[in-house]
Amino acid sequence: MTTTTPPAAAAPARPAHHDPNVLRWVGAYTASTLGDSVYYLALSWSAVSSGTPAQAGLVMAVSAVPRALLMLGGGVVADRLGPRRVVIGSDTVRALVVLGLAATLFAASPGLWLLAVVGVVFGIVDALFLPAVGALPPRIAPHDQLARIQGLRGLAYRCGAVLGAPLGGLAVALGGPTAAFGAAGLLFALSVPLLSALRLGPLPATDGAGGGTALSDLVDGLRYLRRHRVLGPLMVVVLLSDLGFVGPLNVGLAVLAEQRGWGASGMGWILAGFGAGAAGASLLLAVWGRVPRAGAVSGCTMVLGAASIGALAFTASLPVAVGVGLSIGLLAGLSGALCNALVQTACDPAYLGRVSAVSSLCSLGLAPLCFPLTGAAIGMWGAGPVYVVSAAVCALSGVYGLLVPAVRKAELPGRP
């Protein structure tokens, strides 16, 4: 009896955490994030050592202006030139600038003006780097692995945040700011060969990249985003969630630690709990690969995370506060990663740089504007009411996402 062998089924996609191409990207992103952490620690130390606290604060804040003003333009550049080229160029510039600053500090003492100039350069580079980073994952792995990639990205970010500060502190202790800036420059440089070795998938034929002026491309991208039934509402979700989240976790937590007598160490423990929760969410997503009904789960976890934020203001016990911080990190980390994965899944790849730019502008450009407002409100009404209002804004983001059918029913493709 003759048997016919059926054609072989297409091989399933390799899980992202087993894909050498993805792991090269994770390694590059980790090195770049570590470099960022070391750089900002060295910058703050140098600024405080060279001027008054007010001058140091100005040096630290100066990069935010060009980053916010140029972010949307950075999205256009990422879509026109390709995200890998932009990320490689950004990290190359950062490496050269920081290594040049280290060499200058080794030879002379130029003062605060040079630190401010470097801060402005970093703000400009960030406006290019952040949209390109958001646009790169769909080009290095199949769509059904994007949730895993977001989990891996979250782990890399937490690794950079946790290890970068001690590494920068050690470098400052051993060789001063010069050594710290040198270490940051080498970390930025380390990412470049890893990024250069990435294999990118082809960009589908589309009109999204445009052939007109940069302004027309930007307007086209904003129009695409506004008309998209999933992406437009998701940008509202991102903005509301960050507006309600960043104030209590950055400004409010310091006030709570002082009022409760927890001190700086207590604040550190709460932040450690938050970081552990966020890392746990990232690890879960990296291994699990796909969360069914991702849109609905993201909305629900935002609402639950908002309840945890509100509860933090009424927690008197430090161990309980650490547990609350853990739950905030777990829930916020999961909802944030799912939002990012849904954006990358739903977006036409040719528009992803511009869409990522809008998302980054909401998170890193607009949301931090609530810092002074949060501080002033706590001074007038106390931490409790401000935390409740912030939690309500966070909850509103989740409720809004659940009320929009296209977002609530949004799914991530493929199987775990």
Q: How far apart are CA 90 and CA 72, in angstroms?
A: 16
Helices (H), 136-145: 137-140
Sequence-ordered list of residues with C-beta below 8 angstroms from that of 336, at least 6 positions apart, any chain:
154, 241
**Per-residue pLDDT tens over the stretch 217-262:** 999 999 999 999 999 999 999 999 998 888 888 788 888 888 888 8
Query: What is the rounded average pLDDT for all residues in the chain?
Result: 86
Q: How far apart are CA 177 and CA 180, in angstroms?
A: 5
Asked whether 147 and 338 are in contact (CB, 8 A), the reply is yes
Higher-pLDDT residue of 401, 271? 401
Q: How far apart are CA 65 and CA 136, in angstroms?
A: 25
Asked whether 255 and 378 are in contact (CB, 8 A), the reply is yes
Q: What is the pLDDT of residue 10?
A: 40
Q: What is the pLDDT of residue 93?
A: 96
Every domain of the chain and the residues it spans: 16-196, 214-408
**Using alpha carbons only, what angle is made at residue 58 by residues 54 and 59, rounded to the nearest 5 degrees?**
120
Higher-pLDDT residue of 249, 133? 133
Q: How far apart are CA 48 and CA 42, in angstroms?
A: 10
- The per-residue DSSP string of 313-381 comes to TT---HHHHHHHHHHHHHHHHHHHHHHHHHHHHHS-GGGHHHHHHHHHIIIIIIGGGHHHHHHHHHHHH
Asked whether 312 and 248 are in contact (CB, 8 A), the reply is yes
Q: What is the pLDDT of residue 61?
A: 75
CATH superfamily of 214-408: MFS general substrate transporter like domains (1.20.1250.20)
3-state secondary structure of 193: helix
415 — pLDDT class (breaks 50, 70, 90): low
For the chain, the C-alpha Rg in angstroms (whole number) is: 22
**Using alpha carbons only, what angle is made at residue 185 by residues 180 and 190, rounded to the nearest 5 degrees?**
125
Asked whether 151 and 286 are in contact (CB, 8 A), the reply is yes
**Per-residue pLDDT tens over the stretch 189-214:** 999 999 999 888 776 555 455 567 88
Q: What is the pLDDT of residue 53?
A: 65
Whether residue 410 is predicted with pLDDT greater than 80 in this model: the reply is yes
Q: What is the pLDDT of residue 16?
A: 77
**Using alpha carbons only, what angle is made at residue 9 by residues 8 and 15, rounded to the nearest 5 degrees?**
125
CA distances from 207 to 14, 79, 353 (A): 30, 11, 14
* Placement of tokens 């999933």 in the chain: 230
User: Which phi and psi (to 5°) does residue 316 adopt?
Assistant: -95, -25
- Please state which architecture CATH assigns to domain 16-196: Up-down Bundle (1.20)
Please tell me if the domain spanning 16-196 has the same topology as the one spanning 214-408.
Answer: yes
74 — pLDDT class (breaks 50, 70, 90): very high
Name the token pair of 219.
């307007």
Q: What is the pLDDT of residue 139?
A: 85
1 — pLDDT class (breaks 50, 70, 90): very low
User: Which phi and psi (to 5°) does residue 198 adopt?
Assistant: -65, 140
266 — pLDDT class (breaks 50, 70, 90): confident
**Per-residue pLDDT tens over the stretch 289-348:** 778 899 999 999 999 999 999 999 899 899 999 999 999 999 998 999 899 889 988 998
Q: Please return the burial class of 215, using the count of CB atoms within 10 Å of its CB with bins 0-12, 13-18 and 19+.
A: exposed
Q: What is the pLDDT of residue 323?
A: 95
CB neighbours of residue 279 within 10 Å: 21
Q: Strand locations in 153-193, DSSP E?
A: none
**Per-residue pLDDT tens over the stretch 146-178:** 888 888 988 888 888 778 878 888 888 888 889
Whether residue 129 is predicted with pLDDT greater than 70 in this model: the reply is yes
Q: What is the pLDDT of residue 4?
A: 38
pTM: 0.85
